[in-house]
Amino acid sequence: MDGVVETAIYHLKYRGIRGLAVPLARATAYALGISSSRPHLLLGHNPVFIPVPLHSARLRERGYNQASLIAKEFAAIAAMPFDDTILTRNRRTDSQVTTHSREERIQNMSGAFSVNDASEVRGKNFVIIDDVRTTGATLENCASALKESGAHTVSAITIAHG
């Protein structure tokens, strides 16, 4: 991760500086060529932008979901719908930072997410938004839950890869 981006994500996530979600999303959208006048074709037709959900206990501790703040800004930039009620994190998982191998990360995330209402997913396109991608286990599990519920396409955007 770039030092400036890493610092911004850290401050967004752990220091409560919520306003950093906007420049992080804008810079990433710009780098990907996403705007309201130029939606990215790889995202599918009229995709719904959704964040990786936090467990309810973590959400209470932090007071907000940084991925939700970023996803909301992405949706606004692309002039596409945003919905933070599609996915639920079923159980509190260890932070991926504390796991040491890809296998541990995959096991940590296995079955961690579910779709709240399959009728809201069937046949639609989704873009999952998260702050950092390490091994991709979190995004893969979110995508699996969406696909199993009938999503047409599932893409993902992250601000950084760590």
Q: Whole domain around residue 127: which residue ranges?
A: 3-161
Spatial distance between the Cα atoms of 148 and 92, rounded to a whole number of angstroms: 21
Number of separate domains in the chain: 1
| CATH assignment at residue 72 | 3.40.50.2020
- Residue by residue, pLDDT tens for the chain (162 residues) are 569 999 999 999 999 999 999 999 999 999 988 888 766 666 778 899 999 999 999 999 999 999 999 999 999 999 999 999 999 999 877 555 555 666 766 676 777 899 999 999 999 999 999 999 988 889 999 999 999 999 999 999 999 987
Spatial distance between the Cα atoms of 126 and 153, rounded to a whole number of angstroms: 6
